[in-house]
Structure 1
Amino acid sequence: MTLVRTASTPLAALGMLALAAGLIVGCSPAPKPTPTLTAAFASEEEAFAAAEETYRAYLHASAARADGDEAADPEAYLSGSALESDIQTQRELTAAGLKIVGASTVHDFLGLVARFDAKVAEVTAEVCVDISNSRVIDESGSDVTPTTRPERGKLEVVFSGDNDQLLISKTASAEISAC
């Protein structure tokens, strides 16, 4: 039997090495795609509408909780300093033997700034809150609402999140508190 050599041994070894490298690369997992950042909202109007919806839902949950609905969770709409402030206010009211009853409502909502070009958006708005239907009640059930309290107050509210969940992250009295 006669053997015919078609390639030299070093070339054959190099070819086998290249074939093996190709098989290894072909079997390795494909690199994970880098996610593309998508904006949290498509427009300012969409961001402002989501913020207003969040604030209205927060007030609704607050009123339901004040009316005894233990399943209502206004804190689910809060984060950051807004959540910390709410917890502190609730502690102070409880320590003083006071509770707030009745619903506050949004009288006016004015979107100021919407930064939504990243995955996490930040929306700032002025919210005029009508508190005329809420009362401060003491332990004996007496209405101790200050007679000088205005019926409406303006807040500057900052919301943070995305189009799946926007939370109230900061609240402060607006420069001009009347509305």
Structure 2
Amino acid sequence: MHHRVFLFVPRTLNKTTFRSIQTITDVRKTLQNLVGAQLVFGHGNQSGSHAGLTDNITVNSTLTPRTIAESYDEAIIPFATNIKLRERYVNFDNKVRFGRILEDLDTMAVHIAYKHNAPQIIQSINVHPLAIVTAAVDRIEVAVPHMDIDRDVRLSGFTSFVGKSSMEVILTIDQVN
């Protein structure tokens, strides 16, 4: 999939905003379950064969149009309350490692792309027949050069364009002041 990513960290947010939002760890677990990810490598596919998964995909002409709001989602990286998590993200300058944030953005973009395609889930086995990957990132804009490691970060985004074999996902990052 084609993802367009924007990074913004300029807004002041109220800490209570994040209380009911899923964490990035929750998003990863959801994706692992949705695609039937192999959790232990070298021991075969844990969720069985994916053969025939595409047999149940709806023809494009019968798909219901979806709105931007239907694909919108957000996740929190809870630095303020999770010290172990902070240790995985901290850099030499005691700020957030940008590379780890890029990994989380990629995870979030794929999650949003699957959410946009949610009607395609095969209910009988609860696995998604589509394989969604990030093919490109058009642009990254960084409004603030560093994020503090002791404040929560919110990742949010939505599907902004869908073609026949690609889609555009716009993502934003906010940090509590």
TM-score between the two structures when normalised by the length of structure 2:
0.27
* Structure with the greater alpha carbon radius of gyration: 1
Larger proportion of strand = 1
Structure with bigger RCO (C-alpha 8 Å, 6+ apart): 2
